[in-house]
Amino acid sequence: MLMQLASIWNYLIVILLMMMGLFIVISHENLVKKLVGLSIFQTSVFLFYITLGRVSGGTAPILTDAPDTVYSNPLPHVLILTAIVVGVATIALGLALILRINEAFGSIEEDEILAAKNQSAAADMMPSKPGADS
Amino acid sequence: MSDSGVASIFLQNLPVMVVAIPLLLAAIVAVVPVPRLAWMLALAGIGGSFLAAILLQSITQSVGRVTYHLGNWEPPWGIEFVVDSATSLTLVVMSGLAFLATLFARGSLLAEINHKDLGKCYAAWLLACGGLFGLVGTGDAFNLFVFLEISALSSVILISMGAGTDRRALSAGFNYLIIGAVGATFYVIGVGFLYAITGTLNIVDLAARISDIGGGAALYAGFGFIIAGIMVKAAIFPVHIWLPAAYGYAPSAVSSLLAAIATKAALYVLARMLFTLFEGVPAITEIALNYVIIPLSLAGIFVGTIMAIYEKDIKILLAQSSVAQIGYISLGFGLASAAGVSASFIHIANHALIKGGLFMAVGSFVAALGSRANMNSFVGIGRRMPITAAAFMVCGLSLAGLPLTAGFISKLYLIRAILSVDAYLIAALVLLSSALSLIYLWKIVEVMWMQPAPAKSPQLVENPAIYLPLWIVALGNIWFGVDASWLVSASRAAAAALIGGGL
């Protein structure tokens, strides 16, 4: 039983990280924490791909002269390099947006932003002063 | 280099040109200091894509299928672009509407975003267009993810530009970023499962190997993750929640661009996944279509329509109605018949014309009014801005599906496709929802035309640079309502390319 668990150890971690990340994204009101959750969620996928690339008994995928060398699969690593870049861009854009949200709403808590948005919506419908928002 | 040299490079690399021109120009436009020049470059770039898409469409009509190997690497190792009748039709519709939206953007963005952001806005605009064209053109599952993210990140930037007039655009952009990133990550997880069992990423190659494998937990998990991820991007109920705020608070030109092409690209990818990638496992796609796509489409049609009826802000109202219209398109895919899929392609084109036009019209009102478009600011606007209001009416009637408009053709072919599989209940629901959509349209018509403008209201100026592109789209709505033969035959070819068989 334990040996079996140990052999799929990486996949267990992937599932754990995936669930944790997604839960944080859904449950937290704080925008920075949401972004952290998203980052954990994406990291779980990186680990998933890297684990897929492992071939048991495989060495680094550098050509050797020995004919019966077993190589690990390098392609998932390359794919994940791309996904990491995409992830960094997402987080950077998200953080930049949080800065602007903090300037505009004075808060990065979702419930407080929602309250401010409802005020804006009420102001929109006031016929006396059009465009009173922001 | 001589002119003929440039032309021949363009012609020999058509499939990749559609994507490469906007993406490469984006880098140049980002450093162009003059907004007017940036706009002209953007217009030229998307015009180039449009030209390439039209040429591709005429080629696929005779040859059927064009492939392009990036860097001359043979598939399945290299990245391949595959353009068949379905791809080329989607590309023509998307690039055509993107071109008109760019034409419209100059006047509209001037009124709605901070002037210091104008030049860079066109760089994000080009990136979004290039990313979405790439999403449609690529034949590689992982490359598709990269285009998904390019288009999503640049769309978020464009949506957040709405903060120039309304701070709520920022939180709308942030929500789209988070939800979109979760959706894209779901897609990558799915691709990971498929790669684990097949060892390939080329979609055609994957389809063949999936067909050989035929089943298994990893395949089903991959299927579920991929379809769920794409559904988020296509804004199919109930994962549409990012859409109303995103389209509602984005600058009007951006709403027009995204409503016309962004969800359409994702819907095309959904069809590709269901009918090409998972063609070899009909058991699982049938379950997904009958028990997931069709019920969710119907739910989306009603939720979107009813939310629109109660909405007072015009842009959010139109966005809610988009949720319903996306439901009609995915419903056609759900039927899984050639007639249903071709009805979906007809509606992809027509809805791009309808919503693109409606958001342009609202953008014209917003530019003239200088405030948000809602039921208060719209009072009596029909008499104050007759040219724009008339175009709004044409697109609105097309949305409702009045005869002689493009919307009627969509509804006609959708209902016929539904009746041909004897689904009378679904047909009745579609007709009922069409009737309901008249309620929210009538609400706007009443406020626009029936009520007098408030006294002392200032004179409103109608700008030709803004209403000309709008009227081109409005006339397009009438043109495709009167003579739909080109669109219908192109859609039939698209459906045949996707699932085979004629009508």
- Which residues of chain B from 294 to 353 reach within 8 Å of chain A, CB to CB? 312-313
Q: A90 lies in a domain? A: yes
Vertex A17: Cα angle to A108 and A87 (nearest 5): 60
What's the average model confidence in pLDDT over B304-333? 93
CB contact under 8 A, A89 and B149: yes
Confidence label for B355 from pLDDT (cuts 50, 70 and 90): very high
**CATH code where residue A106 lies:** 1.10.287.3510
ipTM at complex level: 0.90
CB contact under 8 A, B168 and A117: yes
Is the predicted pLDDT of residue B1 greater than 80, yes or no?
A: no
Q: Could you check whether the bond before residue B458 is cis, i.e. omega within 30 degrees of 0?
A: no
How many Å apart are CA A22 and CA A39, to the nearest integer?
A: 10
* pLDDT tens string B453-474: 777 777 777 888 888 999 999 9
Identify the residue with better confidence: B138 or B2. Answer: B138
How many Å apart are CA B341 and CA B278, to the nearest integer?
A: 16
Closest-CA distance of chain A to residue B348, Å: 29
Closest-CA distance of chain A to residue B107, Å: 19
Is the predicted pLDDT of residue B150 greater than 90, yes or no?
A: yes
Is the predicted pLDDT of residue B223 greater than 90, yes or no?
A: yes
CB–CB of B128/B151 below 8 Å?
Answer: yes
Residue of A nearest to B185 (CA): A42
How many Å apart are CA B338 and CA B333, to the nearest integer?
A: 9
Q: A97 lies in a domain? A: yes
Q: A134 lies in a domain? A: no
**B463-473 per-residue burial string, b: 16 or more CB within 10 A, e: under 16:** eeebbebbbbb
Q: A131 lies in a domain? A: no
What's the average model confidence in pLDDT over B330-349? 92
Helices (H), B113-242: 118-137, 141-160, 168-198, 203-213, 217-234
- Cα–Cα distances in Å, from B271 out to A48, B244, B268, B335, B354? 27, 23, 5, 12, 22
Give the pLDDT of residue B3. 57
Q: A83 lies in a domain? A: yes
Q: A65 lies in a domain? A: no
Confidence label for B4 from pLDDT (cuts 50, 70 and 90): low
Which residues from chain A sit within 8 angstroms of residue B370, using beta carbons?
Answer: 130-131
Residue of A nearest to B197 (CA): A52
CB contact under 8 A, A41 and B185: yes
> DSSP labels for B118-139?
HHHHHHHHHHHHHHHHHHHHB-
Task: Return the residue in A8, A43, A47, A93 with the most chain B beta carbons within 10 A, the one to mutate for interface testing.
Answer: A93
Which percentage of chain B shows pLDDT scores above 90?
62
Shortest CB distance from B177 goes to which of A82, A97, A130? A97
Confidence label for A134 from pLDDT (cuts 50, 70 and 90): very low
What's the average model confidence in pLDDT over B297-322? 93
Q: Spell out where B334-448 has E strands.
A: none
Closest-CA distance of chain B to residue A82, Å: 8
Shortest CB distance from A45 goes to which of B166, B178, B189? B189
Residue pointed to by tokens 């049609």:
B301
* pLDDT tens string B11-60: 888 889 999 999 999 999 988 888 889 999 999 999 999 999 999 999 98
Residue among B156, B365, B480, B368 at smallest CA distance from A92: B156
* pLDDT tens string B157-189: 999 998 878 888 999 999 999 999 999 999 999
Give chain A's mean pLDDT: 85
Give the pLDDT of residue B500. 64
Is the predicted pLDDT of residue B271 greater than 90, yes or no?
A: yes
CB contact under 8 A, B163 and A42: no
Domain residue spans in chain B? 3-499
Give the pLDDT of residue A128. 45
Q: How many folded domains does chain A comprise?
A: 1
Domain around A114:
2-60+70-124
How many Å apart are CA B428 and CA B236, to the nearest integer?
A: 21
Is the predicted pLDDT of residue A129 greater than 50, yes or no?
A: no
Which residues from chain B sit within 8 angstroms of residue A53, using beta carbons?
Answer: none
What's the average model confidence in pLDDT over B299-322? 93
Give the pLDDT of residue A127. 54
Shortest CB distance from B153 goes to which of A41, A49, A89? A89
Quote the distance between the C-alpha of residue B377 and its chain's center: 28
Q: A98 lies in a domain? A: yes
